[in-house]
Structure 1
Amino acid sequence: MDSTVLYIKNMVCKRCIKVVRDELEKLNLTIEEIELGKARVSTALSSDKINEVRRVLDDNDFELINDKKSQLIDGIKTLIIERIHYAKEQSGTNNYSQFLAKELGYDYSYLSNLFSSVEGITIEKYIINQKIEKVKELLVYDEMSSKEIAFELGYSSVQHLSSQFKKVTGLTPTQFKKLKNYKRKPLDEI
């Protein structure tokens, strides 16, 4: 029996996995494997069934990705989001070029050029934006010191984190913490 791999855009958190799993199961599909950005179902899907999956995903603000370049870009984003927001260990966080090339099986310069040409920003800028959102989350929780946050996210120092935070947000981390109505962005909109 043939399985089908579905590549899914905007699947950026564990709750997204649950929603996609629930929706695919409602369509009587047997899920062999599911992770951020991807689900493998146990049967080959007809074009009608694919359209049904596409409709259900669209209704839940996801998108079925068909072409290889879009799948690759989504893979880059998913790996970065997983590493910054969900990895238990952040060791080696700063070597994203080797990490992405190894995980995706492509030369980093190809990945970088493709990402920049389609997304309009560099992979490095995307990583910085994701890190800053994680910093915001950790500042709001107020469970870690600035030094611990800097270490957790692979910054060389608190000063480096503060400088990058201010460059992106216009505020220092301390000024951000004092805001009462802080705004965080959904990960798929960064």
Structure 2
Amino acid sequence: MPTLYIKNMVCNRCIMVVESELNKAGIIASLVKLGEVVLEKEPTEEELQQFTSAIESLGFERIDDKKSRIIEQIKNKIIHLVHYEYNASKINLSEVLSSHLNHDYNYLSNLFSEVEGTTIEKYYIAQKIEKVKELLVYDELSLSEIADRLNYSSVAYLSNQFKKVTGLSPSHFKQIGLEKRKPLDQI
């Protein structure tokens, strides 16, 4: 089945927008998930052009080259792990990515660093810190519960990493509020 890869799809709302644009262009998808659209059949050039123009005007981008697709798949898997999976078990990020993308982790790590100018681990930490910010702003969980949900070994480790990345302690950030959060596609 033909597959399209889309950059900047970082949330469920993004999926809904892309699904809507697919429908408008007359393209039938069997699956739409973060960064990826599996099509029922190959679209016509006209349908593909209409869809591409529509999504570009909304801040998305179709990805054609293999390396960019792999980078986007890494980012989308990390976003999914951090923001949408609430499992208490510890994950081994390198194993998860290698298994999900069917590539050796060293290859993925080197490619990501070369293209993005940062490491997979730093990107993963940045995503986790954004999730911590979100949970602090919602004010529904204690710092201990947040540390547990995001698989930190301790509240102290979470606090140290948070301060290292943001320059603020979690409690100080909580006082400041929303203006310090970043959209997921800008991390």
Q: What TM-score do you get using the length of structure 1 for normalisation?
A: 0.95
Q: 1:131 aligned to 2:121?
A: no
Q: 1:181 to 1:42 in 2, by over 3 A?
A: closer
Q: 1:163 aligned to 2:140?
A: no
Separation in structure 2 between the aligned mates of residue 24 and residue 52 of structure 1, nearest angstrom: 9
Any stretches of 5+ residues in structure 1 without a counterpart?
none
Q: 2:27 aligns to what? A: 29
Q: 1:182 aligned to 2:179?
A: yes
Q: 2:82 aligns to what? A: 84
Give 1:56 deviation, angstroms: 1.0
Separation in structure 2 between the aligned mates of residue 101 and residue 134 of structure 1, nearest angstrom: 23
Contact residue 11 and residue 17 of structure 1 kept, 8 A: yes
Secondary structure of the structure 1 residue equivalent to 2:74: helix
The letter for the 2-side match of 1:25 is N
Q: 1:102 aligned to 2:83?
A: no
Please give the per-residue CA displacement for 1:90-121, whole angstroms capped at 9, x wherever unaligned: 4223x100100011000000000000000000
Any stretches of 5+ residues in structure 2 without a counterpart?
none
Separation in structure 2 between the aligned mates of residue 180 and residue 24 of structure 1, nearest angstrom: 37
Which sits farther off after the overlay, 82-91 or 126-135? 82-91
Q: 2:111 aligns to what? A: 114
- C-alpha root-mean-square deviation of aligned residues, in Å? 1.2
Give 1:181 deviation, angstroms: 4.9
Contact residue 25 and residue 48 of structure 2 kept, 8 A: no
Secondary structure of the structure 1 residue equivalent to 2:99: helix
Q: 1:147 aligned to 2:136?
A: no
Give 1:70 deviation, angstroms: 0.3
The letter for the 2-side match of 1:188 is D
Which sits farther off after the overlay, 29-38 or 40-49? 40-49
Which sits farther off after the overlay, 23-32 or 124-133? 23-32
Give 1:130 deviation, angstroms: 0.2
Secondary structure of the structure 1 residue equivalent to 2:180: coil
Contact residue 13 and residue 36 of structure 1 kept, 8 A: yes
Separation in structure 2 between the aligned mates of residue 181 and residue 78 of structure 1, nearest angstrom: 24
Q: What TM-score do you get using the length of structure 2 for normalisation?
A: 0.96
Contact residue 115 and residue 123 of structure 1 kept, 8 A: yes
Separation in structure 1 between the aligned mates of residue 161 and residue 8 of structure 2, nearest angstrom: 26
Q: 1:138 to 1:35 in 2, by over 3 A?
A: same
Contact residue 7 and residue 38 of structure 1 kept, 8 A: yes
